[in-house]
A and B are shown apart, each in its own frame.
Chain A
């Protein structure tokens, strides 16, 4: 009898003994990230390792151009009186969407920039025969990062999720190029980019995150 009562007490203790409240996991992560990874961006050092300097400069220039165009597009929309309601709706839609946690903003911004640079450079790289193993390995890395972001709170925003899903598809096609860089495959990728409006969406998303 006493054993039964004791077991009942122990079962009760499982629910009542030092029952923890939900802590602020986000704040805890900030401490862990700072202590474990510091302020340096590992993705930037990865980029430096995998690409030579002229190409990095070229990609950076392309990226800046892309972000510039994206910002200009947003500014033009804002300045246009006829599209005021559209802009207002767009702003409301953005503010209504689930806010992306701050720690992901930097990562997402870097990722979008790097992906934009790679996809914009793709046709010329293939034509010049420079879409080598290193380039495709970079695409593979970006594909993995896409999947990680899809699993993260960054994908809570429906627009971002759609963009990431499209990028996953396109990058998977790029990775599949491998050493078989046929014109047909490149055309298929270009068509996918065009049909899904990927590059302009990528630029706008990068510009939005950068502006925020």
Chain B
């Protein structure tokens, strides 16, 4: 995420703190600049967490509406991207709890969506089983696995986004991987081949 900030600052003529000040003054162009810089990653995270394009779109919008509404509370202690991703994770988690049918819908979508290409030579059955296992992980483990192993966040970044200690984050990832291995235990011969 630090790289994102650096890239952002070098690519634009107006720095991120200046943009934030402009947004607070009601400048929509500045708000659009921030949205353009951060929305792709926010959307990707929301999609990875939900597996549903409509929900991801809705949650991304919600994230930015909340962020612009609460921007005066952003103190700059962490990167803006970290703050935005924290809102994203909160928005997604709250909505998932409220939508009771979410899990069934999620499972259906996993059945419907085509899986990625087979160019890596990974057995499609193993791949699908792993995907299902990730989806079925308890929320705190799934979020950690998705952020770390799927989206490439560091433990420090995840800890900041989730508001937990870095050690907790590492422990959750270890637990999550153990659960995934356990879920694939019956496929041990395939994994060993």
Chain A interface (Cβ < 8 Å from any Cβ of B): 1-2, 5-6, 8-21, 23-25, 28-29, 31-33, 35-37, 42-43, 45-46, 103-104, 107, 144-145, 147-152
B102 within 8 A of A: no
Q: Which B residues have a C-beta under 8 Å from some C-beta of A?
A: 12-14, 18-19, 22, 25-33, 35-36, 39-40, 43-44, 47-48, 51, 53, 56-57, 60-61, 64-65, 68-69, 113, 115-117, 120, 122, 126-127, 130-131, 134, 146, 149-152, 177, 180-181, 184, 188, 191-192
Cβ-neighbour of B130 out of A13, A28, A29, A36 (below 8 A): A13
- Tell me the nearest residue of chain B to A103, going by C-beta: B32
Give bound CA distance, A90 to B117, whole Å.
48
Closest to A29 in B: B35
Residues of B within 8 A of A16 (CB): 115-117, 122, 127, 131
If over half of B's interface residues share one DSSP class (helix, strand or loop), that class is named, otherwise mixed; here it is: helix
| Contact status A18-B47, CB under 8 Å | yes
> In the complex, are the beta carbons of A46 and B12 less than 8 A apart?
no
Chain A nearest CB from B48 CB (Å) reads: 5
23 contacting pairs across A/B (C-beta < 8 A): A5-B192, A6-B181, A6-B184, A14-B150, A14-B152, A16-B117, A18-B150, A25-B43, A28-B43, A29-B35, A31-B61, A32-B65, A33-B32, A36-B68, A37-B68, A42-B25, A43-B27, A103-B28, A104-B29, A145-B27, A147-B14, A148-B19, A151-B33
Q: Bound complex: CA of A18 vs CA of B117, how far in Å? A: 13
Specify the main secondary structure of chain A where it touches its partner: helix
Do A147 and B27 touch across chains, with their CB atoms under 8 A apart? no
B149 touches A14 (CB 8 A): yes
B116 contacts A15, CB within 8 Å? yes
Q: What separation, in Å, do the CA atoms of A46 and B27 have in the docked complex?
A: 10
- In the complex, residue of chain B having the shortest beta-carbon distance to the beta carbon of A107: B29
Contact residues in B for A104 (Cβ distance below 8 Å): 29, 32
B13 touches A152 (CB 8 A): no
B22 is contacted by which of A17, A23, A28, A144 (Cβ under 8 Å)?
Answer: A144
Other than A6-B184, A20-B47, give 4 A-B pairs with Cβ distance below 8 A: A2-B191, A13-B134, A28-B57, A152-B29
Closest to B44 in A: A20
Taking A16-B116, A23-B56, A144-B14 as contacts, is the C-beta distance between A33 and B191 under 8 angstroms?
Answer: no
Across the interface, do B127 and A42 meet the contact criterion of CB distance under 8 Å? no
Which residues of chain B have C-beta atoms less than 8 A from A31's C-beta? 61, 65
Instruction: Decide if B191 touches A5 in the complex (CB within 8 Å).
Output: yes
- B33 and A148 contact, CB distance less than 8 A: yes
